[in-house]
Amino acid sequence: MTDYKSISLSGRKKDVSERDMTFMEKLYLPAIMKGMGITLRHFFRPKATIQYPEQKREFSPVFRGRHILMRDENGAERCTACGLCALSCPAEAITMTSAEREKGEENLYREEKYASTYEINMLRCIFCGLCEEACPKEAIFLTQDMAPADYRREGFIYGKEKLVMKIEDPKK
């Protein structure tokens, strides 16, 4: 049975003693020299800084950034305004209104129903990715980009003009 005082969960426990310092310790200078050696070693170390606009840190493959509303291979929007993303959203950041597809809009919207407005409040969004999982049409995805800063709150409410994938944008 060990004394409870000697238990160390981290394995790095150090006993604190109140013994008097030796003369060399009281001089402080050897300790200061040692410390200065450590700082000098850091002086010549490779630097951890990433110079942001030029260099970028690689995100992890599962990074969840700002949303994108996908188009299909013909360039028609996939979203059918079913509202499952809004329902699944724990932060209640998504709102939309649905509309019926008119004649002659088949190349714009994939199915008969589509979202006439689709807004995500980026100040509410917690980037959990539940909308992505809930979507039955594989329409909404979270990309690797960050949501940029803005000066006004209105700027953070992203409408379709910011969310829908650009037609000329070939990548996923």
Note the residues at the interface with other proteins (CB under 8 A): 29, 32, 35-36, 38-40, 42-43, 45-49, 51
- What DSSP assignment string belongs to 125-160? -----HHHHH-TTS-EEE-SSPPPP-SSGGGGEE-H
Say if residues 16 and 8 touch (Cβ distance below 8 Å). no
Considering the complex, state which of residue 24 and residue 87 has its C-beta at the smaller distance from other proteins.
24
CB of 116 to other proteins, least distance (A): 45
Considering the complex, state which of residue 41 and residue 171 has its C-beta at the smaller distance from other proteins.
41
CB of 46 to other proteins, least distance (A): 8
CA pair distance 78, 132, nearest whole angstrom:
13
Backbone angles phi, psi at 31, to 5 degrees: -65, -40
Considering the complex, state which of residue 4 and residue 43 has its C-beta at the smaller distance from other proteins.
43
Q: Which two three-digit tokens encode residue 140? A: 């909404």
CB of 53 to other proteins, least distance (A): 10
